[in-house]
Amino acid sequence: MDSLPLPFIVLLITLFTPLQTSSAPGSACQSTCGSLQVKYPFGTGYGCGSPRFQPYVTCSSDHLLLTTHTGSYPITSVSYKDSTLTITPPYMSTCSSMQQSPNLGLDWASPFQLGPSIFLLLSCTPPTSSLTIKGSPVCDPSSSDLCASIYSCPSVVSLGLHLFPPTNTCCVYSPANFNSKGELDLRAMKCIGYASIASFQDSPTDPSRWQYGVTLKYTNGAFDDYDMNNKCNTCEDSGGLCGYSPPSDSFVCACKNGFNTSTACYNNYNPFQDDEDQEITWSSTSLPTWKIWLGLLAGLTFCLAA
């Protein structure tokens, strides 16, 4: 059997060899994750949003997640106006389900810190009035009625308590603070579980109607402030999504047509027309088509020269 001609071999190599390109966001950047709107500084994947937030907030199987050194937590709401988000740790207790909880923590290097949530430490060694951290009392005695309310939930038996237990095994930890490891250390405070109240939903005495979750505040760095004020608003107004291009992490506006720009997306933009004001970064989604054309051109050139 005759060997394949050289031009044909070159054509195959050109078509099927991966092309090395810079990692710029393409169609993988989405404006939603499940039912949640995703805007700057958050993103749905690598190259989307701000590089400062990308290691912590990601979209996985239509679920927006916050990942820290203690685990991954579903994000249930985001307020871009107030720069807050609410997470629902899977082992956090609620009125309908109480359970032993592992430590909850935030990374010190992350742009997140505790917001205005109210923590209820549950099934602690009594009396919680003697609970201190570095000599300072932890529990807020003026809010002990919240302990009485949540202890009216039948699920308290899951914590080894009987129905309507004494409230001296509960602690209203507000304002809460994390230890030097960035964690809510339940074992050190001799408590089995915790609940966190994000909102009372106008029903301060009915724990079955409370909104449970941990509210976190996030802060923008100098990079985020600059790009939000000077570039990102323009990008989003034009229908694009704000992102970045590693390794320099330079600003990128990811457009719906599969092309990325350094400024904004324009209506009916034609990437094949010259535009001195529009700087293009090819997205990964547009590369396969160009590889095929380049391969065909190379193969044709070699065939004609053979």
**Per-residue pLDDT tens digits of the chain, which is 306 residues long:** 455 555 554 444 444 443 333 344 444 789 999 999 999 999 998 899 998 898 999 999 999 999 999 999 999 999 999 999 999 999 999 999 999 999 999 999 999 999 989 999 999 999 998 888 878 889 998 999 999 999 999 999 999 999 999 999 999 998 888 988 999 999 999 999 999 999 999 999 999 999 999 999 998 766 666 666 678 888 988 889 999 888 888 889 988 877 888 888 875 344 454 444 444 343 433 344 444 445 545 555 554 555
Question: Which pair of structure tokens corresponds to residue 239?
Answer: 């229908």
User: 256: closest CA among 272, 268, 244?
Assistant: 268
Cis peptide before 175, with omega less than 30 degrees from 0? yes
Contact 171, 137 (CB under 8 A): no
Question: Which pair of structure tokens corresponds to residue 113?
Answer: 């810190």
Question: Which pair of structure tokens corresponds to residue 202?
Answer: 């106008």
Three-state secondary structure call for residue 220: coil
C-alpha span between 13 and 298 (Å, rounded)? 10
C-alpha span between 143 and 145 (Å, rounded)? 5
Place of tokens 């919240």: 146
Alpha carbon of 300 to those of 3, 292, 295: distances in Å? Answer: 19, 12, 8
